[in-house]
Amino acid sequence: MTNQAAAQRVSVIGLGAMGTALAKALLAGGHEVTVWNRTPARAEALVADGARVATSSAEALTAADLLIVCVLDDAAVREHLEPVAARLRGRTVVNLTTTTPEQARSSGRWARAAGVELIDGGIMAIPDMIGGPGAFVLYSGAGAAFARYRSVLELFGAAEFVGEDLGAAAMYDVSILGGMYAMFAAFHQGGAMVRTTGGTAARLAELMTPFLQAMATTLTAQAPGIDTPAEYVQPQSDEFTAAAIDLIDKSAAESGNPTELYGGLRRTLVGR
C-alpha cells in the first residue's frame, strides 16, 4: 500500500496483537509514534522500529495530536482516557477497541464534554492483515477529523467512513460478524447432517464454498428489501422461502440434528 501522509505525531495505547500491528504500520508509514502498554515489556520490540515508549498512559495520551486506542474492551478505554479528559482537548481519539454501538455513543458524550474529537473504529482484519490489501477498517463519529487523518488511517487498510453516529462503525462491525457466524453455524450444522449419509464436512466445504460465494453477490440486490421495502419486489415469495427453510428443518430433525438454527432464520426472513 502506498501512503503519502505528512508525518504526524501519533500515540498508540495498547500493544496487544492488534495494537502492535497498528503501531508497526504507523512507523512504517514514517510517523512519529509514541507507544504505551500496561505491561511495558510488550513495548520494547517497537523501539527498534523507531517508537518512543511512554511510561504512563497519560504521558502517551498527551504526547500526540492523534491518539489510537486499541485495548481489550470499553472498560479499559475509559480507565485510561477519562482521568485525563481535561488534558485531551483539541486532540483526536480513534478508538479501535471493539465496543458495542451504545458504548461508543456513551464515549462520545464524555468526548464532547471534554472537547475531544472522537472516531470509533471497527477493524475488519486480523493483526497479520494490517497494512495489507485485504484489510479494511470501519470508522464513524467526527467526520472532519476523519477527513483530516484519513491518509494516516489508510496505513491500517482501506478506511470506510460509515456515518457521524458514533455507534455506526460498531453496528456495521457486529452485523458483518453476525453474517460470518451465521455462515459458520450453518456449515457446522450441515457438516453434522451430511455425516449421517456417509458424507464429510470436508466435501461439504468444497461444494458449499462456491455456492455461498455466488449467493453473497446477491446481497446488494436484496438491500432495497430492507432499506426501501415499499418499493421492493422480492424475487422469491415468503411462501417459497418458508417452505425451503421448513424442508431443511425437517431434514435436520430426520437425521437427529438440532433444529433451532432454522426457526430463527425463518422468523428473520419471513417474519413467522
Separation between Cα atoms, residue 17 and residue 50, nearest integer Å: 18
Query: What does the DSSP assignment read for 13-54?
Result: E--SHHHHHHHHHHHHTT-EEEEE-SSTHHHHHHHTTTPEEP
Binding mask 118-157 for ligand FVH (x = CB under 6 A): -----x--xx------------------------------
Virtual CA dihedral for 125, 127, 130, 136, nearest 10 degrees?
Answer: 10
**Choices 1-9, 64-72, 107-115, 142-150; region in contact with ligand FVH by CB under 6 A:** 64-72
Among 1, 5, 9, 38, binds ligand FVH (CB under 6 A): 38
Min CB(73)–ligand FVH separation in Å: 6
**Choices 70-78, 132-140, 192-200, 239-247; region in contact with ligand FVH by CB under 6 A:** 70-78
**Choices 45-53, 68-76, 103-111, 147-155; region in contact with ligand FVH by CB under 6 A:** 68-76
Separation between Cα atoms, residue 182 and residue 5, nearest integer Å: 39
Min CB(178)–ligand FVH separation in Å: 14
Region of 161 on the Ramachandran plot (φ > 0 left; ψ -120 to 50 alpha; else beta): beta
Binding mask 74-93 for ligand FVH (x = CB under 6 A): --x--x--------------
Which of 246, 250, 252, 182 lies closest to 216 in space, CA to CA? 182
Is-contact 152 26, C-beta < 8 A? yes
Which of 28, 26, 30 lies closest to 12 in space, CA to CA? 26
| CB-closest chain residue to ligand FVH | 16
Min CB(239)–ligand FVH separation in Å: 40
**Choices 27-35, 66-74, 110-118, 198-206; region in contact with ligand FVH by CB under 6 A:** 66-74
Is-contact 101 170, C-beta < 8 A? yes
37 lies in the binding site for ligand FVH (CB under 6 A): yes
9/78 with CB nearer ligand FVH:
78
Separation between Cα atoms, residue 120 and residue 141, nearest integer Å: 6
Region of 48 on the Ramachandran plot (φ > 0 left; ψ -120 to 50 alpha; else beta): alpha
**Choices 10-18, 155-163, 182-190, 205-213; region in contact with ligand FVH by CB under 6 A:** 10-18
Residues binding ligand FVH (CB under 6 A): 14-19, 37-39, 42, 70-73, 76, 79, 97-98, 123, 126-127
